Structure 1
Amino acid sequence: MSTPITFAAPHAFLGARPGDRAAAVCVAGIPLDIGTTNRAGTRDGPRAIRAAARMLTDGRHPVTGVDPTGLDLSDLGEFEIALGDIAASLARIEEQAAGLNHLLAFGGEHGVTLPLLRALVKRIGQPVGLLHIDAHLDTSEDNFGQPFAHGAVFWHAITERLVDPKRMIQVGIRAPAWPEMYDWTRSQGVTILAAQDVHESTPAAVAAQVRAVLGDGPSYLSFDIDGLDPAFAPGTGTPEIGGLATWQAQGILRRLGAVDWRGADVVEVAPAYDVAEITALAAATIGWEYLALLAARG
């Protein structure tokens, strides 16, 4: 059967077969959007990402030559959430992520990462290393009085011992934050690589630092789309200038094939603020690049 023309591609991510939880790799949307602290709208992110992914179904990876659609891949659709209840939504997300072999999730707000890490760590029995690409630290203990808002996700991940902070690196950080947040984050052993440091370095050097921090153990990728500069990703709730360019993000990720990846998410896409699908396409391509890493390792 020939590959469908892009505008007629199936709505599942990369045309993956639907609903098979036993697949080697699953994709799921998580439309949680009740813990955002600025502009709302990320509940529509997963649909927009899937639509933009039609551009990624016609051909192989330009560097490695792999075809991510050759993976044993299934799109599970959207996870259920509890309307208006963050804690109950996190519990439902964890239940639905439990038992999956490998999950690539599209958000939704960044708070969805917490239940995904809970489910993953229960399954593999140990904390994971973490590559966190973002404009924000997300290590607030009490984010505007709501402890499970999207800016508190990695405070919980660290204190719940879901993540090994000595194997955690944050890339692209540049947003205003209280010095106490930086002090606490660094005191846990987390490596913080500011956006300016990335700009003054190279993707190859940044990737080498990421590999050194993550080491050989199981690791997780959490990519907040606002890690990219608003010029490349305007469709998000908390944009911050001075961020990564898409070519920098690609250049870093393409050099991380040796990492023992166990799961990933791409979050905070809010299509109501997007322009010509550029944010959704960036997010879809990050997901595609991640799946290409999995496909290349066989």
Structure 2
Amino acid sequence: MIEQPTFATRPAFLGLTSSDPRAEYVIAGIPLDIGVTNRAGARSGPAAIRAASRMLAGNDHPHHWVSVDAMPIADIGDFAIALGDIPRSLALIEQQAAAVNHLLALGGEHGITLPLLRALAKRLDAPLGLVHFDAHADTWGENYGQVYSHGSVFFHAINEGLVDPHRMIQIGIRSPLPRETYDWTVGKGVTILSAQDVHEIGVAATAARIHEVVGHARATYLSFDIDCLDPGCAPGTGTPEIGGLASWQAQALMRRLGGIGFVGMDLVEVAPAYDVSEITALAGATMIWEYLALLRAA
């Protein structure tokens, strides 16, 4: 077989050739961004993440020393959505997510996480733990009169019993938000570590706190909003906030999450129209790659 150079890698995640929806791990794009409150464009995120992932294909992970490419993974393309219709799109996403095994979703806006959690919670018949990287708490109720948006995801997830808020931790939170929203979130039992907290206590202590909150025995979901990273590391997103995590901090945290019972992941809010030299898309692709390496090394 003739090996292709990096720039000629097949335009699937890591250049995957399998598109079998029955694979043990399934990559799917979800190009929904009609619930964003600032800059649109995350609908183009899946394609950008796939293109940037070519830099990660074909070699072993330099920390875990495993081959992600050798895992039983398929890239099944993008989920269907209903143009201009948020509730119908959420229903379609849930239906499609229910039909696959361990899903790694490429967003798209953060609103896609709600139907993914609905599908998982139904399948497992139990609320999930949640590790949530983000600049925003996403626990607003209505945003600008809209019941569903990318800022209300976890308000609904908590109220619907999809996640156990006492096993939910948010990392990197730093945006302006109403005090009542913050108080509601922590009042439900959610642990919040701001970006400043992470900078001050360090990566090791942050990872230890994540393990303490979610535990190891029960199912846990990972949701990574790329705006968790500082705009200097990830400018290509719709709602950037200064003072965020550096890409090395996020990568180091991901490498310390072994032993947690992860059952799915999403990487959201990559908006390539605002990116510079693919650095945001590459950061997003790398976090997914780190997650897969974590599973492979377990």
Q: TM-score, normalised by structure 2?
A: 0.98
Map 1:250-265 onto structure 2 (within 5 A). 250-265=251-266
Map 1:4-83 onto structure 2 (within 5 A). 4-83=4-83
Instruction: Look up the match of 1:242.
Output: 243
Instruction: Look up the match of 1:121.
Output: 121
Cα distance in 1 for partners of 2:15, 2:124 equals 29
1:179-226 deviation digits (Å, cap 9, x = unpaired): 000100001000000000000122111111001101121100000000
SS at match of 1:90: helix
Q: Which runs of 5+ in 1 are unaligned?
A: none
Q: What letter matches 1:202 in structure 2? A: G
For the pair 1:140 / 2:140, whether they are aligned, the reply is yes
Cα distance in 1 for partners of 2:291, 2:184 equals 30
Q: What letter matches 1:273 in structure 2? A: Y
How far does residue 16 in structure 1 lie from its aligned partner after superposition?
2.0
Cα distance in 2 for partners of 1:2, 1:255 equals 36
SS at match of 2:151: helix
Contact 1:97 1:116 in 2 (8 A): yes
Cα distance in 2 for partners of 1:15, 1:37 equals 33
Cα distance in 2 for partners of 1:227, 1:3 equals 36
Instruction: Look up the match of 1:290.
Output: 291
Contact 1:234 1:279 in 2 (8 A): yes
Cα distance in 2 for partners of 1:2, 1:59 equals 16
How far does residue 244 in structure 1 lie from its aligned partner after superposition?
0.2
How far does residue 101 in structure 1 lie from its aligned partner after superposition?
1.3
Cα distance in 1 for partners of 2:99, 2:123 equals 7
Cα distance in 1 for partners of 2:73, 2:17 equals 7
Q: What letter matches 1:98 in structure 2? A: A
Instruction: Look up the match of 1:182.
Output: 182
Q: What letter matches 2:139 in structure 1? A: T
Q: What letter matches 1:25 in structure 2? A: Y
Q: How many residues align?
A: 297
Instruction: Look up the match of 1:220.
Output: 221
Cα distance in 1 for partners of 2:255, 2:53 equals 18
Q: What letter matches 2:256 in structure 1? A: R
How far does residue 21 in structure 1 lie from its aligned partner after superposition?
1.2
Distance 1:3 1:213, change over 3 A: farther
SS at match of 1:151: coil
How far does residue 18 in structure 1 lie from its aligned partner after superposition?
3.7
SS at match of 2:118: helix
Cα distance in 1 for partners of 2:154, 2:164 equals 11
Superposition misfits of 4+ residues, deviation over 4 angstroms: none
Larger deviation, residues 58-67 vs 74-83:
58-67
Contact 2:58 2:69 in 1 (8 A): no
1:10-55 deviation digits (Å, cap 9, x = unpaired): 1110122343111000000000010000000000000000000000
Contact 1:18 1:77 in 2 (8 A): no
Q: Which runs of 5+ in 2 are unaligned?
A: none
Q: What letter matches 2:263 in structure 1? A: R
Instruction: Look up the match of 1:279.
Output: 280
1:39-82 deviation digits (Å, cap 9, x = unpaired): 00000000000000000013111111011111100001000100
Cα distance in 2 for partners of 1:111, 1:180 equals 21
Instruction: Look up the match of 2:100.
Output: 100
Q: What letter matches 2:292 in structure 1? A: L
Contact 1:3 1:58 in 2 (8 A): no
SS at match of 1:177: coil
Cα distance in 1 for partners of 2:222, 2:17 equals 24
Cα distance in 1 for partners of 2:248, 2:273 equals 24
Q: What letter matches 1:42 in structure 2? A: A
Cα distance in 2 for partners of 1:69, 1:209 equals 31
Cα distance in 2 for partners of 1:259, 1:99 equals 24
Identical counterparts, % of pairs:
63
1:71-117 deviation digits (Å, cap 9, x = unpaired): 10000100010000000000000011013110000100000000000
Q: State the Cα RMSD in Å.
A: 0.9
Cα distance in 2 for partners of 1:141, 1:215 equals 28
